[in-house]
Amino acid sequence: MSYGSSSLASGARTTRRPVEFGRTHVVRPKGRHQVTIVWLHGLGDNGSSWSQILETLPLPNIKWICPTAPTRPVAVFGGFPCTAWFDVGELSEEGPDDVEGMDASAAHIANLLSTEPVDIKVGVGGFSMGAAMALYSAACCTYGRFGNGNPYPVNISAVVGLSGWLPCSRSLRSKVESSQDAIRRAASLPVLMCHGRGDDVVLYKHGEKSAEILRSSGYRNLTFKPYNGLGHYTVPQEMDDVCKWFTAWLGLDGCRS
């Protein structure tokens, strides 16, 4: 489907060209609209490919918004430009973080969700680098602010990450414990992480470690599902598990048969 890795610091940079996001694809709900999910593709992919997958899922009450990341030079590809939510350089959740790039993408995601009706629950999910962005958005929602300190404007109700990792993992626990509101939000936010044991792009151990960090930071409603033999792609069993999880945690009307 697409590749993912960890992130690269932008510390030496003082300026960055304006971020231009690609086309956003929307899958309208086939039933009563209860939930809107922004779903994020992996490195080098686009919103169209995932919109085609999501349209086939038996979740008639979800509206899917599938944006396309900006095209930018990516360190892990030697500076070759491709679609990426932020710059990436290492295959480890312990690598340096491009907070500026992640904040720009997290703000774009929040803007897409902020226009939804007030009675609609909203969430974010993704694959590989998209999963990393989903988890970063979850952290911003928990803190109530972006990495740059600006207020985070959306109340996320569910987060899904497939074959991904947690950026900025080193500072998560201290930031959550910095306020009672953050502790409460972390404890109540449902998170699903899925990872294949055969993943040779974002290694299984990095997904597992990220889940451990989230749990130790107070995310009590976190589910981590391993899949034997699964590489860096998705399979029907995994998507079935995602459907069941969304239906249970978001109180959806139920799956279509």
Which residues are tagged catalytic?
128, 199, 232
Residue in 183, 177, 13, 41 with CA at minimum distance from that of residue 99? 13
**Residue carrying structure tokens 């959306």:** 154
Round to whole Å and give the CA distance between 99 and 112.
20
Residue 255 CB: number of other CB atoms within 10 A?
15
Q: Which helix (H) or strand (E) holds 216?
A: helix 204-216
Round to whole Å and give the CA distance between 48 and 81.
19
Which of 223-241 are b and which e, b meaning 16 or more Cβ less than 10 Å from the residue's Cβ? ebeebeebebbbeeebbeb
CA 96-66-7 angle, to 5 degrees, is 5
Residue in 229, 226, 113, 215 with CA at minimum distance from that of residue 172? 215
Contact between residue 190 and residue 221 where contact means Cβ atoms under 8 Å apart: yes
